[in-house]
Amino acid sequence: MAKRLCNSPKPLFALILPMLLLNYSLSSNAFSIGVNYGALADNLPPPAQVAAFLKDRTFIDRVKLFDSNPDMIRAFAGTGIALIITAANSDIPSLSRLPGATSWVANNIFPFYPATNISLIAVGNEILATADRNLIAHLVPALRSLSAALSAAGFHQIRVSTPHSLGILSASEPPSSGRFRRGYDRVIFAPMLDFHRKSKTPFVVNPYPYFGYSSRTLNYALFKPNPGFFDPVTRINYTNMFDAQMDAVFSAMSRLGYGDVQIAVGESGWPSAGDPGQVGINVEDAASYNGQLIQHVTSGKGTPLMPNRTFETYVFSLFNEDLKPGPTAERNFGLFRPDFSSVYDVGVLRGGGQGGGPTPAPTAASKWCVAAGGATEAALQANIDYACSTAGVDCRPIQAGGPCFDPNTAQAHANYAMNAYYQFAGRHVFNCDFGRTGVIVTKDPSYENCKYGP
C-alpha cells in the first residue's frame, strides 16, 4: 500500500543529485535487465572474464546463478552487478531449521557480501515440479528460517524467494481462471505468499511461452501481430502469451488474497536452434521473443491485470550450454556464444557493435521515466517525496480521488511521480536517475484515465 505522497523533506540523494549529474554518462544503463548464467558446458570462459564482460560491454545489471559456486560469486565482487545465488534443493531440509540456515549464511554469504552485491537467495529451483514431498513440506519453513538468519547476521538487504514453473497452476486459460493446484493452494502457497508480503520479497515465476505454443499460436507467443485470445470474464483480448501467463499467476495469487505481492520473472527465453522440423525455432524468432520481452518488462506498461508495473526479469540464458541434456533446443537458449560473440542482437551490448539499448533512441517526446524493476519500497517512496516536493511538479493525480491513485501502490505512484518530474525537469537522461532507480521507457505507461506526460 502506498504511503504519504509529498509531505516529507527531500531525501539525501536529492541534495547530492547535482554533483552526481556532473559525472553521469549518456552511456549509462538506460534499463534494467537480468540474465541467467548457467554453466552446463565444457567450453565457457572463466567467471572473472564473464563478470568483466557483463560489466564493461553490456547493459545487463542482474545475474542469476543456479548454485552458490564460490568462484562465480567472487568473480562479481566490485562489479555492482546484482546477483541471485541458489541454495541446492538438497539443502532445503537443513535450511528449514535456524541452525542450518545460519550455517549456510556463514558459508555462502559472509565470505562474499557486500563486496559482491548479493541481491536474493533462491531456495531451490522449481521445487513443486520435483513432486518430492519432503522438499515441498520444508520449503516455506526454509524461506522463513533463511530470512531470519540473514536478518540476524545484519544482511537485511538480501531477499529470499524460490522460483516456480507454471506447473504450479491447475488452470491458466483464460488468465482470469488462474488458480494454484488443489492441495497446495492453502497449505503451501497461502503461507508462502504471506511470507513474501511480510518480507516485501517477490514471488518468482518462470513463464515460458516457448513451452506452450503451437504453430497456430506462434505469433501470439512471439509478441508478433495476431488476433489475440479473448478472456470472456475480464473482457480482455490478450495479444501475447507472456501477459496471459503472468496474469494467470496474478489471478491465482488474488484468489488467495495476495494480489499485492510483487512478481519477478526468474526465467524466460526462446531457443535459436532446434531439431529438424521444429516450427519457430530459429535465430530470427529467438531475437524477436527476447527483444520484445526486454522491451515489455522494462516499459512500465505491465500487463492487463497488473497495469503500470515493471518486472524484475532474468532472460534465459547468457550462454549456449553444450552439455545440457534433452532436445537440441535445450542447448541453444544463449544470447552469447562462449567467445562472447552475440548469437543475435537484442540490444544489450554497449556502444555500437550489435546494439546499445533495447530500442533505437526515440525522440524526446516519446520518452517516459518509471521506476526500475527491483527498486525497494523505501526507494520508491523517497522518489515520490522528492518529485512531489519539487515546485512545478503536479502530483494531485496520485492523491486519493485522482485518476492515477489506483492501483494504490508505491510502484504505481512512483512511476507517475518520477515521470512528472522527468517531463518537468527537461527530459534529460539524468532527470530519470533517481539514485539509479529510474528507467527511461519508450512505451506510454498511461492507462485508463491516468495519463502520463508529455
Catalytically active residues are: 126, 267
Whole-angstrom distance, CA of residue 340 vs CA of residue 174? 40
Q: How far apart are the first and last CA of the chain?
A: 27
Alpha-carbon dihedral 277, 278, 280, 282, rounded to 10 degrees: -80
CB of 147 closer than 8 Å to CB of 189 = no
CB of 57 closer than 8 Å to CB of 82 = no
CB of 57 closer than 8 Å to CB of 350 = yes
CB of 87 closer than 8 Å to CB of 95 = yes
Helix (H, G, I), strand (E, B) or coil at 119: strand
Whole-angstrom distance, CA of residue 121 vs CA of residue 58? 24
Whole-angstrom distance, CA of residue 50 vs CA of residue 37? 9
Unique residue bearing C-alpha cell 502506498: 2
Q: Alpha helix locations (H) across 126-212? A: 127-130, 133-152, 190-199
Phi, psi (rounded to 5 degrees) for 375: -65, 140
Distance of CA 134 to the CA centre of its chain: 29
CB of 406 closer than 8 Å to CB of 398 = no
Whole-angstrom distance, CA of residue 167 vs CA of residue 325? 21
